[in-house]
Structure 1
Amino acid sequence: MKANGYYNHPRFPLEAGCGLIEEDSIAFTSDSGKTTETPSFPLEIFPKAIRDIIEALEEYENYNVDFTAASFLTVFAAAMGNTWSVRFMTGWISRPIIYMVLVGSPSCGKTPPLQQAVAPLLKLDGEYDMTYCKEMETYRRWERMSAKQRERHSLPEEMKMPKRKCHVVVDSTVEALIGALRDNPRGVLIYKDEIDSLLSNFNRYNGSDEGYFLSLFSGTPFKYSRKSNNEHIFLANPYCSIIGSTQPGRLDEQFGGKRMMNGFSSRFLKVYPEIDKMPSWNDTAMPDGVLEEWERIIRKV
């Protein structure tokens, strides 16, 4: 470990293949001392229907397979949320919580596959918002009525304020995230095109922000108190995945130093493929139904 706090690891050198720094080499040295090629994303983990979509996006849209597959994996996991878990042994239960960051130089094609992967969840959230607005309109109308008016319109004496249902959270404050987790026990996905907009705000208003995300990765229960309104929130099974992108030159600042020592950096899967040329336009049209199939899969999940 270097004393200057640079992102480093005693077993692996700082190579582009490890997602650490920007270099021409894509090889890294294993424990045996042998030099191997940087592995690409193992597409065989996906069922054929998803593999076909990823390969079609590569063929017709020139999407990088590693960026697309990593984005699809994270979004699929977020769609599952708390509905599935794995018990490795008594007391050791894990859920599909993923912290993912796509690493590459500007204009290398990180954003399009990320946007494509998240699109079905955002579309669902748009539908949820329409329902929420209607429910809030009904609630506000009920709130303005007197007891006699409610009785006259056959409305209940008590009515709970509607909760905003969502899959994706873009507000990076811990307070907003905790509220979303409370209202969505199935879980949420933090989606940041630039992950720095999340990391740079850590500890700005609350010195324990980073600690919350360390705990969230394990899905361990925790309590949160909002001093503003004296509200106490208990999350028994918090689920939160994270996905975003960054540039190679920002890795040391974002994941080095203390964040490497306390395990924060290790929680993030860093996808840093070797890209020898920037993606270009493709005149061949995408076959009908490819993107619709991805949306159908996510809605089913």
Structure 2
Amino acid sequence: MSTTISTSWPTPDFDLLASETLPAPSLPLSELFAPRLGDWIGGTATAASVPADYIVAAVLATVGSIIGNARWVSPRRGWAEPPIIWAVTIGAPSAGKSPAIGAVLGPLRTMQMELESACASARAQWTEKAALAKLADEEWKKAARNALQGDASPPKRSTLADPGPEPYARCLFVNDATIEHLAVLLRRQTHSVLAYRDELAGWLQGMTRYANGGTDRPFWLEAYGGGAYSAERMGRPSTLVTRLSVGVLGGIQPDPLKRLLTRGGDEDGLLARFLPFWPDPAPMEALQDAPATAILTKMLRRLMALQPEPNQGDTAPRYVGFDAQALCQLEQFRRDVRAREGEVDGRTQAFLGKFPGMAIRLSLILGFADWAIGDGSEPSEIRGEHFDRAAHFLMTYALPMAKRTYGDAALSDTDRAARALLALIRRRAWRRFSSRDVCRERLRGLSKATSEVNPALSLLEEAGWIRAVPDLRKGSGRRRRDYEVNPMLPMGANHFG
């Protein structure tokens, strides 16, 4: 290829050279949690050479689901939120998402096994009663049938024919459950549950797997908000859950996440309910023992002991209000969020709109986490210091993390293709190229000349990075579309700077 470059180039638009992925914000670990819990998170992250961010994601989602329907936060009458958190850990397969989450779920699994072991004896006794009840019921039916045939009054049904409700161990988390299974599970237990998926991409894509066009998304939207839900499927009785509360925790890789964000179909704002955690990779530390999990286990056990309150034959959460300082801070926070809404758009704006609800949820989680690792009395209200920590975390960490996560999705298809084309030119060190050269690369979003490549070329021309070269060849053959590249474009790097 010729590398002859014309002169008199305009000043190009350097914004197109900026990295599509913003830098990761610093995690305010010491400002978010009490020192004992923060030290455990930091020490566990260092020992495993994983980002502490991933462990924070697991702690918030787990603590929220354990409190669940036992305590809800309510800053004023008419506004109540469950402490349910959906957290997504983002990173490459080697980023350490699974071991970080495993450090938190390990003690939770131990507690789950203890619950099931404690329930085993009661279930064995019930199984014996159920077998006797079946025999007693058959005898009663036989006696009733004989009595009716002889015009006599049927006998009363024996109390032995009713074994009572089957005992179940409380379920703390599930790995791969259908919404039907979750509805049945949450119908029989008053507490919420944590849904953990090692890879969230398949879970999100599978929500619309039904041949009749059905979708699981309404179920999950209610599961975030703690609303009532009736799960119905053809040929099966409906299952009503009065307070559907399910925390969600899982991981996803950056490329599948980008595909999910850019394909559309999230008008209901389901993805905006996730707190994203996409830190830079952690440095590899020397081998060392992980801190003991005693502090985490103590916290989870005290939180697990919280119970909802009786309510007209059912149960209901105990609502935790705000003290005066926390209320003032909440009012200011809502004004700050409203002011920021004009600075962002698209998915980031939808995410920002969830901040008031997320802030009061997090303040409940932080307040009860502080209580659970100590020895004091259960909090009767949310204090200003806990709301301040929640608000600070959202504004200084969650918002810039959302901009990092949603950045590529905020671009138009043409803008995204133009940036990809500019990166291709730099990798190939092209000083002159044709549209056919671009198509031969067969890159995603740059393989169709008319609908993808041509708009990207036009945008780069307008931005001053390339310009068309007249085809001076004689003859009636097919004309080439050649372009020369602005000599100000640095070669051999993916991003500027």
Tell me the TM-score normalised to structure 1 length.
0.78
Corresponding residue for 1:220? 227
Give, in angstroms, the shift of residue 171 of structure 1. Answer: 2.3
Single out whichever of 242-251 and 261-270 deviates more from structure 2: 261-270
Give, in angstroms, the shift of residue 164 of structure 1. Answer: 4.2
- The alpha-carbon distance between structure 1 residues 263 and 196, as it changes in their structure 2 partners (threshold 3 A), is same
| Matching of residue 283 in structure 1 with residue 292 in structure 2 | no
Match among 216, 227, 231 for residue 209 of structure 1? 216
Give, in angstroms, the shift of residue 223 of structure 1. Answer: 1.7
Give, in angstroms, the shift of residue 233 of structure 1. Answer: 2.2
- The alpha-carbon distance between structure 1 residues 214 and 271, as it changes in their structure 2 partners (threshold 3 A), is same
Give, in angstroms, the shift of residue 210 of structure 1. Answer: 1.1
Give, in angstroms, the shift of residue 175 of structure 1. Answer: 0.7
Match among 251, 256, 265 for residue 250 of structure 1? 256
Give, in angstroms, the shift of residue 172 of structure 1. Answer: 3.1
Corresponding residue for 1:185? 190
Report if the CA contact (8 A) 1:189-1:241 is conserved: yes
Corresponding residue for 1:152? none
| Matching of residue 144 in structure 1 with residue 146 in structure 2 | no
Q: Deviations over 1:1-43 (max 9, x none)?
A: xxxxxxxxxxxx9x98xxxx7x4x41xxxxxxxxxx7242444
Q: Deviations over 1:172-192 (max 9, x none)?
A: 311111112112221000011
Single out whichever of 205-214 and 187-196 deviates more from structure 2: 205-214
Corresponding residue for 1:71? 58
Match among 170, 184, 198 for residue 203 of structure 2? 198
CA distance in 1, matches of 2:258, 2:290: 38
Corresponding residue for 2:110? 123
| Matching of residue 166 in structure 1 with residue 171 in structure 2 | yes
CA distance in 1, matches of 2:113, 2:286: 30
CA distance in 2, matches of 1:81, 1:141: 33
Q: What secondary structure sits across from 2:64 in the alignment?
A: helix
Corresponding residue for 2:280? 274
Give, in angstroms, the shift of residue 109 of structure 1. Answer: 0.9
CA distance in 2, matches of 1:43, 1:184: 36
RMSD: 2.7
Question: Which structure ranks higher in relative contact order (CA pairs < 8 Å, sequence separation ≥ 6)?
Answer: 1
Of structures 1 and 2, the larger Rg is shown by 2
Give, in angstroms, the shift of residue 57 of structure 1. Answer: 1.0
Give, in angstroms, the shift of residue 298 of structure 1. Answer: 0.8
Single out whichever of 58-67 and 245-254 deviates more from structure 2: 58-67
Supply the AA of the counterpart residue of 2:295.
Answer: E
| Matching of residue 235 in structure 1 with residue 241 in structure 2 | yes
Match among 93, 96, 99 for residue 109 of structure 1? 96
Report if the CA contact (8 A) 1:190-1:240 is conserved: yes
CA distance in 2, matches of 1:296, 1:136: 27
Report if the CA contact (8 A) 1:185-1:238 is conserved: no
Corresponding residue for 2:270? 264
- Structure 2's unaligned 5+ residue stretches are 1-15, 138-158, 304-497
Supply the AA of the counterpart residue of 1:121.
Answer: L
CA distance in 2, matches of 1:43, 1:299: 23
Give, in angstroms, the shift of residue 136 of structure 1. Answer: 3.1
Q: Tell me the percent identity.
A: 23
- The alpha-carbon distance between structure 1 residues 57 and 178, as it changes in their structure 2 partners (threshold 3 A), is same
Give, in angstroms, the shift of residue 281 of structure 1. Answer: 5.8
- The alpha-carbon distance between structure 1 residues 46 and 181, as it changes in their structure 2 partners (threshold 3 A), is same
Supply the AA of the counterpart residue of 1:115.
Answer: G
| Matching of residue 294 in structure 1 with residue 296 in structure 2 | yes
| Matching of residue 88 in structure 1 with residue 75 in structure 2 | yes
Supply the AA of the counterpart residue of 1:56.
Answer: G
CA distance in 2, matches of 1:80, 1:238: 14
Q: Whose helix fraction is larger, Structure 1's or Structure 2's?
A: 2
How many residues are paired up? 262
Corresponding residue for 2:403? none
Give, in angstroms, the shift of residue 156 of structure 1. Answer: 4.8
CA distance in 2, matches of 1:227, 1:127: 37
Corresponding residue for 2:36? 49
Give, in angstroms, the shift of residue 263 of structure 1. Answer: 0.5
Tell me the TM-score normalised to structure 2 length.
0.49
Single out whichever of 124-133 and 175-184 deviates more from structure 2: 124-133
CA distance in 1, matches of 2:40, 2:209: 40
Report if the CA contact (8 A) 1:70-1:271 is conserved: yes
CA distance in 1, matches of 2:234, 2:119: 26
- The alpha-carbon distance between structure 1 residues 68 and 259, as it changes in their structure 2 partners (threshold 3 A), is farther
